[in-house]
Amino acid sequence: MIIKHDKSTLYQKLKTHFGYNSFRDQQEAIITHVLEGNDTVVLMPTGGGKSLCFQVPALLLDGLTLVISPLIALMKDQVEALNANGIPAAYLNSSLSSAEEKEIEAQLERNELKLLYVSPEKVFGRDFLSFLTLLNIQLIAIDEAHCVSSWGHHFRPEYQKLYLLKNKLPNATMIALTATADKAVRSDIGQLLGMQNPKTFLSSFDRSNLSLSVLPGQKKWDQIRRIVHKYANKSGIIYCSSRKSTESLAAKLKAEGVKAACYHAGMMNRLKEKTQDAFIQGDLDVMCATVAFGMGIDKPDVRYVIHYNMPGNLEGFYQEIGRAGRDGHPSDTILFYSYRDVQTHLNFASEIDNEAYREIQIAKLNRMQEYAEAQVCRRKILLSYFSETLEEDCNNCDVCKNPPKFFEGTLLAQMALSAVARTNQQVSLSTLIDILKGFFTEVVREKKYHKIKTFAVGKKTTAVAWQLYIQQLIQQGILELDYKDHYNLKLNDFSWRILKGEVPVKLVSYDVIRERQESQKKQAKSPPKVILETNQSLYERLRLLRQKLAKEISKPAFVVFSNASLKDMSAKAPTTLEAFLAVNGVGEHKAEHYGKQFIEVILEYQAQEG
């Protein structure tokens, strides 16, 4: 499928049907690429105009554009908007009656429609795929394409069967679109969908009009009242992790005279639709909702998004805060953070049977927690997760507005980056610390890392401090964590510029971070935070011992000890059986069976650390 077109035709369609005089960002380049018959992957932030990238080509193609969309509400809204713009479109899903479905199928057979929206479940329903082969489908658009990857935060197994569309419709071009995909997910999209040499168009994920703040998870109600009254008669969304929280919070706000309502998956479909419409039309100001709300909602004037509970990963968090300020005006995003939320996510993760998938979810939770506990610009952390580098601080997050004291950290950064380079970018964070400290661990000896020039170059800095500094390098986008390569550290263009001495690096000293933590603990009276207090190097040694013991008894690793127990163990570093029993998740039975072996590893580590 190659469609001849000129620039004036594109702009004429854009103006006639959508009312815009010009394209945004990479839209025109993407549309041109698609019309030339090329498979395409589009990564564009929420509100960036992804839909136009397949809707405009649909107007220029002779045949039908098939759109795969995961949500019924999203289909309905987009189809209604297209029809209002004079574009013949329809959707097929479970909300339609049998008579309505037959009428739409008749329209398709008469070639009266330009776009058809369906869910992946519908595609693989009874005889539907065979029906699609009878139609003149020239373009397949896969919306929310991150759902295809098991690395993604909204993995849907049905998406992994969508490659069959390329097999059944070989002459159709495919475009896959998403607003949230890290590097691991991006590499999966084209491959798992069966796309042919797709070109990836990556737009900036930076939403500079959004301010980023994190508040302590105590006394939430007082702080929410203040925020809501600050934005009186303005639209806001408060995301909660439970249905009960949405209901109680909405009731409290209504008692304060606020036009608020709740939204969650347990509500009847008709009530959910009515509530959503009221919010979009401005009859409601505040929506207290679970994550079931908001996907595909086109409301440009949401002035704030509050997370009552911390999400389990940065992809979901980014997608949800992206519903604020889509009109480009300044908007606030506030995350309430408490260790209880971390523990809740860890408990859910511990119940995942697939060990590899469980480890992925915990690694993503760690990155989310790093954002919440940030000592550096929060926007840098958020963008670095999506492999985008922000060299300057944003000055629009709470850390930038109240910065800690930095020190000149270029030399330390160069030590770490050089060690990563000399190991061919095949080391984990814990092994990198062992190399910098000069520890002769089993991995170091096996890989002969003790022979590289940077071995023991950082022995004067403690292992705990090295852990924090390396985490800051990851947070600032100077180092990347590769989930698909055993969580090894990778260099990027920014890394090489620092190694060459072209860019200085600022770090927050370990002493400053420790002082801040102690202050936060006294104020919040919360349990110790996992990431900042876990000794990553010791944790890795304990993890290897757990793996060995699990193999000996032919059981999953978490049967010996959960990750949460290992984190607590590496933080407390018990050296007696009595202290070992104080570790979270350690009972007398496990202490008797495993205590001595784990304590030996801890003592060996402490002897090396000095």
Given its phi and psi angles, is residue 196 left (phi above 0), alpha (psi -120 to 50 degrees) or beta?
beta
What is residue 106's predicted lDDT score, i.e. its pLDDT?
96
Band (525; pLDDT cuts 50, 70, 90): very low
Q: Indicate if the pLDDT at residue 516 is higher than 70.
A: no
Residue 49: DSSP 8-state: -
Asked if pLDDT for residue 521 goes beyond 50, the answer is: no
Per-residue pLDDT, 395: 96
Distance CA 369, CA 366 (A): 5
Asked which of 192-201, 363-372, 583-592 is least confident by mean pLDDT, the reply is 583-592
Would you say the C-alpha torsion 335, 341, 345, 346 has a positive or negative sign?
positive
243 and 263 in contact (C-beta within 8 Å)? no
Smallest Cα–Cα separation from 565: which of 522, 594, 605?
A: 594
206 and 388 in contact (C-beta within 8 Å)? yes
Nearest Cα to Cα of residue 446 among 419, 466, 417, 423: 423
Report, in angstroms and rounded to the nearest whole number, the Rg of the chain calculated over CA atoms: 26
**Cα 300 vs. chain centroid, distance in angstroms?**
22
pLDDT for residue 19? 84
Q: How many residues does the chain have?
A: 610
Domain ranges of the chain: 7-202, 210-353, 406-508, 534-609
The pLDDT, as a whole number, for residue 363 is: 86
Tell me which of 487 and 251 has the higher pLDDT: 251
Alpha-carbon distance 528 to 538, whole Å?
Answer: 17
CB 485 within 8 A of CB 427: no
pLDDT at residue 526, as a whole number: 41
pLDDT for 340: 83
Three-class DSSP category at 141: strand
How many angstroms separate the CA atoms of 517 and 511, rounded? 10
Residue 599: CB atoms within 10 Å = 19
pLDDT given for residue 532 in this prediction: 35
202 in Cβ contact with 43 (< 8 Å): yes
Q: d(Cα 403, Cα 376) in Å, to the nearest integer?
A: 8
Report yes or no: 151 and 360 within 8 Å, Cβ to Cβ. Answer: yes
207-to-47, 325, 330, 549 alpha-carbon distances in Å = 10, 9, 10, 47
Mean pLDDT check: name the lowest of 19-33, 75-89, 158-172, 580-594. Answer: 580-594
Closest CA to 200 of 388, 44, 382: 44
Q: What is the DSSP string of 413-435?
A: HHHHHHHHHHTTT---HHHHHHH
The pLDDT of residue 531 is 38
Rounded Cα gap, residues 231 and 286, in angstroms: 10
Query: Does residue 283 surpass a pLDDT of 70?
Result: yes
Mean pLDDT of 221-229: 94
Q: Which of 79-83, 389-393, 501-505 has the highest mean pLDDT?
A: 501-505
Determine the longest span between alpha carbons in the chain, in angstroms. 79
> Would you state the pLDDT for residue 522?
46
Can you tell me the mean pLDDT for 455-461?
Answer: 95
Q: What is the pLDDT of residues 531-560, one digit of tens each?
A: 334 578 888 899 899 988 888 887 767 778
Q: Is 175 helix (H, G, I), strand (E, B) or coil?
A: strand
> Would you say 128 and 102 are in contact if contact means Cβ atoms under 8 Å apart?
no
CB 262, CB 285: distance < 8 Å? no
CA distances from 488 to 48, 116, 370, 445, 462 (A): 32, 43, 18, 18, 21
CATH assignment, 406-508: 1.10.10.10
According to the model, what pLDDT value does residue 445 have?
A: 93
pLDDT of 527 reads: 39
Q: Is there a contact between 550 and 556 (Cβ–Cβ < 8 Å)?
A: yes
Q: pLDDT at position 277, please?
A: 85
Q: 103 near 95, Cβ under 8 Å?
A: no
Alpha-carbon span 387 to 486, nearest angstrom: 18
Q: Rounded to whole angstroms, how far apart are CA atoms 601 and 575?
A: 10
Answer yes or no: are the C-beta atoms of 66 and 140 closer than 8 Å.
Answer: yes
Comparing C-alpha atoms, which of 608, 567, 245 is closest to residue 459? 608
437: CB partners within 8 A, 6+ apart = 456, 458, 459, 461, 463, 466, 537, 608, 609
Model confidence at 381: pLDDT above 90: yes
CA atoms within a 13 Å half-sphere pointing along the CA-CB vector of 536: 21
State the distance between the two ends of the chain, measured CA to CA, in whole angstroms.
Answer: 67
CATH of the structural domain 210-353, one choice from 3.30.930.10, 3.20.20.480, 3.40.50.300, 3.40.50.360: 3.40.50.300
294 confidence band (pLDDT: 50, 70, 90): low
DSSP per-residue string spanning 336-396: EE-HHHHHHHHHHHHT-S-HHHHHHHHHHHHHHHHHHT-SS-HHHHHHHHTT----S--S-
Cβ pair 239, 309 in contact under 8 A: yes
Is the separation of the CB atoms in 428 and 486 below 8 Å? yes
Provide the mean pLDDT of the chain. 88
pLDDT given at position 433: 93
Does 406-508 match 534-609 in CATH topology? no
pLDDT-derived band at 518, boundaries 50, 70, 90? low
* Cα–Cα distance for residue pair 35/238, rounded to 1 Å: 40
pLDDT tens by residue, 105-148: 999 999 999 999 999 989 998 889 999 999 999 999 999 999 89
pLDDT of residue 2: 60
Q: Does domain 7-202 match CATH 3.40.50.620? A: no
Model confidence band, residue 296 (pLDDT cutoffs 50, 70, 90): low
Does 413 have pLDDT greater than 60? yes
The answer to whether 122 and 70 have CB atoms below 8 angstroms apart is no
Cβ–Cβ under 8 Å, residues 314 and 360: no
Mean pLDDT of 226-243: 94
Give pLDDT, residue 3.
Answer: 63
Identify which has the larger pLDDT, 273 or 1.
Answer: 273
Q: Provide the percentage of residues in the chain whose pLDDT is more than 70.
A: 93
> What's the pLDDT tens digit per position in 42-80?
999 877 789 999 999 999 999 999 999 987 767 887 898
User: Is a pLDDT exceeding 80 seen at residue 338?
Assistant: yes
What is the mean pLDDT of the segment spanning 211-237?
Answer: 93
Separation of alpha carbons 172 and 51, rounded Å: 18
Look up residue 397 and give its DSSP letter. Answer: B
Across the range 165-171, mean pLDDT stands at 93
Distance CA 116, CA 120 (A): 13
Helix, strand, coil fractions of the chain, as percent rounded to 5: 50, 15, 35
Only one residue has tokens 């620092």, namely 498
Q: Minimal CA–CA distance to 52: which of 42, 62, 39?
A: 42
The predicted model scores a pTM of: 0.72
CATH topology of domain 534-609: DNA polymerase; domain 1 (1.10.150)
Partners of 488 in beta bridges: 482
590 three-state secondary structure: helix
Q: Is the pLDDT of residue 152 over 90?
A: no
As given in the structure block, the two tokens for residue 37 are 């018959």
- Counting residues of the chain whose pLDDT is more than 90, the rounded percentage is 55
Model confidence band, residue 307 (pLDDT cutoffs 50, 70, 90): very high
